């Protein structure tokens, strides 16, 4: 039997995952893809017992959307077709299971079409010789790219106009399931089914694919809502008795009820929390007392996206002194990325919710108190590919990150878009150095602050510098009005701002920024803080970036309850 190199991918990835109204949609999107790839690998191993999976590492729980394997066979094309069909059947099977459980199985043909047409599966198989793995690898990636282009072109020409109501989540496909508000959603297909389930919002209508996402594995996982992530560290301060007593005022509980803006009769009725007026009044008083005791919870949370830099170059062997070792390098690399996945889970545990960690790619929700800690650790523990044998001198792996901080009520797809946009901005670098992070704070008022920094300035961690300044304000060492005053000065003198100016203005304004008890900073503290701010200024890409940094420091010092170091 001859040997072959087999590359198999499923998609769509980005659009499928990002089309989400609830955090569960987001989680389920990536989980479905990961489960399908895992299933594909399983199917291949069943069919070709001798196959060797190079990517991804077996231990990785959330799998990336592709695998590479070496197989032995007399009918490679047959194997490719077979795995493709099995994956498609698996998606059909899990879709039917969900429909059987939650809807009327006597369902429109369009549902089957939507499921059938959804997956984009691409694979390439090439004859394999041990000696030219690196050349083959380059070829196989190249072929995959051209196949995708051809198919995309064909699909575009297939788009047609439909007259029925589109899905509320993806806006692409015809809606086939809905939940009434007071009446049926307008213009909905006569074939659509009414679903009376709390997982659908009133008035929401879903296509087949988004319906499957909404109900995928709801039993085995209850993925936190944005309100839960935002209130996470605040709720930890409450006693079990307090939580129980408060929950008892409502019919069904949801973490949104920790925010007093939601304690309105119509809101409670709409989301099925309402008991009676008496309980509502009691709840208001109870929550008010909790606020007095523990402070008010932040309504903001963060979406964090991390992505390994220059992964294409690493994978193609560009950084190796000898490309004939590429296969071994790939095996080592996938092992390291597997270990990183475990580490990622550890870092985020109890601080937010991990959507996926599939190798060099991480997507997570993070509570704002823990954000700076999580950011720094995700970067610091990113695997060092240079430790693998045969990496050329001075080439080092790195990763960049996009962060979007948003109000828990902001549409989720919008927040994801921002996180992705920031990740892209972090990676934009004239010298191709990358290794940076970018944060956007999306305020409820519509105001947006964006910053971008390299992770390290010489040996100093930029995240730590920001964290220390925020901590000084939270610890009431000085007043947050300082950041406003400095930003105003900088705007006023923008053409004359240089390092000397920053240093002297920082000192002057810090001297005046006594804390709320009227105590001023000691001169060594002023010196230290001015130095930190100067570091940030030197690291800033522009004056605007530095001014936005002051705004974000100010924002964090107000929203963060307690800055945790672990």
Give yes or no for residue 26 binding Zn ion (CB under 5 A): no
Choose, by CB under 5 A, the member of 91, 210, 287, 502 that binds Zn ion. Answer: 210
Question: Binding pattern to Zn ion, positions 506-525, x when CB under 5 A?
Answer: --------------------
Residues 6+ away with beta carbon under 8 Å from 293 = none
Q: Which stretch binds Zn ion (CB under 5 A): 6-14, 161-169, 452-460, 488-496?
A: 161-169
Task: For residues 371 and 368, give the distance between their C-alpha atoms in angstroms, rounded to a whole number.
Answer: 5
Interface stretch with Zn ion, choices 117-125, 162-170, 194-202, 292-300 (CB under 5 A): 162-170
Binding-site size, Zn ion (CB under 5 A): 5
Q: With binding defined as CB under 5 A, does residue 32 bind Zn ion?
A: no
440 binds Zn ion (CB under 5 A): no
Question: Is 17 a binder of Zn ion (CB under 5 A)?
Answer: no
Using the rule CB under 5 A, which residue among 169, 283, 305, 347 binds Zn ion?
Answer: 169
Candidate segments 26-34, 169-177, 308-316, 467-475, binder of Zn ion by CB under 5 A: 169-177
**Contacting range for Zn ion; rule: CB under 5 A; set: 94-102, 199-207, 384-392, 465-473:** 199-207
Q: Is 355 in the site for Zn ion (CB under 5 A)?
A: no
Instruction: Give the C-alpha separation, 242 to 321, whole Å.
Output: 62
Q: Does 167 bind Zn ion (CB under 5 A)?
A: yes
Compute the distance between CA of residue 459 and CA of residue 513 in angstroms, rounded to an integer: 29
Closer Cβ to Zn ion, 204 or 307, answer by number:
204
* 207 is an interface residue for Zn ion by CB under 5 A: yes
Question: Do residues 7 and 124 make contact, with C-beta atoms less than 8 angstroms apart?
Answer: yes
> Does residue number 212 form part of the binding site for Zn ion (CB under 5 A)?
no
Between the CA of residue 159 and those of 172, 400, 471, what are the distances in Å?
10, 36, 53
Per rule CB under 5 A, is residue 170 in the interface with Zn ion? yes
Provide the mask over 227-246, with x wherever binding to Zn ion is found by CB under 5 A and - wherever it is not: --------------------
Instruction: Please tell me whether the peptide bond between 135 and the residue prior to it is cis, using omega within 30 degrees of 0.
Output: no
Residues contacting residue 94 through CB under 8 Å, at least 6 positions apart: 32, 212, 216
Bridge-based pairing state of the strands 448-454 and 66-73:
unpaired
Of 36 and 167, the one with the shorter C-beta distance to Zn ion is: 167
DSSP string, 437-493: EEEEEE-TTS-EEEEEEESEETTEEHHHHHHHHHHHHHTTSS-THHHHHHHHHHHHT
The yes or no reply on residue 18 touching Zn ion (CB under 5 A) is: no
Residue (171 or 350) nearer to Zn ion, CB: 171
Contact at 8 Å (CB) between 217 and 31? yes
Residue 264 CA to residue 105 CA, distance in Å, equals 38
Stretch that binds Zn ion, among 36-44, 201-209, 228-236, 372-380 (CB under 5 A): 201-209
Cα 450 to Cα 545: distance, rounded to the nearest angstrom: 7
Within residues 267-286, the interface with Zn ion by CB under 5 A covers: none
Spatial distance between the Cα atoms of 312 and 542, rounded to a whole number of angstroms: 30
| Positions in the binding site for Zn ion (CB under 5 A) | 167, 169-170, 207, 210
């Amino acid at each position: 039997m001859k040997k072959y190199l087999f590359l198999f991918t499923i998609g769509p990835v980005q659009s499928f995952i990002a089309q989400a109204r609830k955090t569960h949609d987001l989680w389920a999107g990536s989980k479905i893809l990961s489960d399908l790839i895992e299933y594909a690998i399983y199917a291949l191993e069943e069919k070709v017992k001798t196959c060797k999976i190079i990517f991804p590492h077996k231990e990785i729980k959330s799998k990336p959307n592709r695998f590479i394997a070496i197989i032995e066979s007399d009918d490679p094309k047959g194997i490719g077709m077979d795995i493709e069909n099995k994956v498609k059947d698996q998606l059909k099977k899990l879709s039917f299971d969900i429909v059987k459980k939650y809807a009327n199985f006597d369902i429109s043909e369009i549902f089957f079409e939507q499921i059938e047409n959804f997956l984009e599966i691409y694979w390439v198989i090439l004859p394999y010789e041990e000696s030219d793995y690196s050349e083959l690898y380059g070829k196989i990636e190249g072929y995959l790219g051209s196949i995708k282009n051809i198919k995309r072109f064909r699909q575009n020409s297939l788009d047609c106009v439909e007259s029925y109501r589109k899905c509320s989540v993806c806006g692409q496909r015809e809606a086939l399931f809905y939940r009434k508000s007071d009446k049926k959603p307008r213009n909905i297909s006569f074939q659509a089914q009414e679903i009376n389930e709390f997982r659908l919002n009133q008035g929401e209508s879903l296509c087949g694919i988004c319906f499957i996402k909404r109900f995928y594995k709801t039993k085995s996982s209850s993925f936190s809502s944005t309100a839960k992530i935002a209130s996470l560290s605040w709720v930890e301060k409450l006693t079990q008795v307090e939580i129980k007593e408060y929950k008892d005022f409502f019919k069904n509980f949801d973490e949104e009820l920790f925010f007093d803006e939601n304690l309105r009769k119509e809101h409670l009725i709409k989301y099925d929390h309402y008991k009676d007026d008496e309980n509502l009044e009691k709840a208001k008083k109870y929550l008010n007392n909790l606020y007095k005791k523990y402070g008010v919870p932040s309504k903001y949370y963060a979406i964090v996206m991390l992505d390994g830099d220059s992964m294409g170059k690493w994978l193609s062997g560009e950084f190796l002194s000898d490309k004939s070792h590429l296969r071994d390098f790939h095996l080592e690399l996938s092992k390291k990325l597997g270990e990183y996945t475990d580490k990622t889970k550890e870092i985020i545990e109890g601080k937010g919710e991990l959507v996926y960690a599939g190798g060099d790619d991480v997507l997570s929700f993070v509570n704002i108190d823990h954000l700076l800690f999580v950011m720094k650790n995700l970067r610091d523990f990113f695997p060092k590919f240079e430790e693998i044998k045969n990496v050329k001198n001075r080439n080092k792996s790195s990763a960049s990150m996009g962060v979007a901080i948003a109000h828990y009520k902001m549409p989720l797809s919008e927040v994801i878009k921002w996180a992705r946009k920031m990740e892209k901005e972090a990676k934009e670098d004239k010298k191709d150095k990358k290794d940076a992070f970018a944060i956007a704070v999306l305020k409820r008022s519509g105001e947006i602050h964006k910053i971008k920094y390299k992770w390290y300035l010489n040996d100093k961690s930029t995240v730590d510098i920001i964290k220390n300044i925020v901590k000084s304000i939270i610890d009431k060492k000085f007043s947050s009005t300082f950041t406003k005053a400095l930003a105003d000065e900088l705007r006023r003198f923008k053409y004359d701002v240089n390092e000397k100016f920053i240093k002297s203005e920082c000192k002057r304004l810090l001297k005046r920024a006594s804390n709320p008890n009227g105590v001023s900073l000691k001169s060594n503290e002023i010196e230290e803080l001015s130095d930190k701010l100067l570091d940030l200024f030197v690291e800033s890409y522009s004056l605007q970036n530095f001014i936005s940094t002051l705004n974000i420091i100010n924002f964090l010092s107000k929203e963060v309850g307690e800055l945790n170091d672990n």
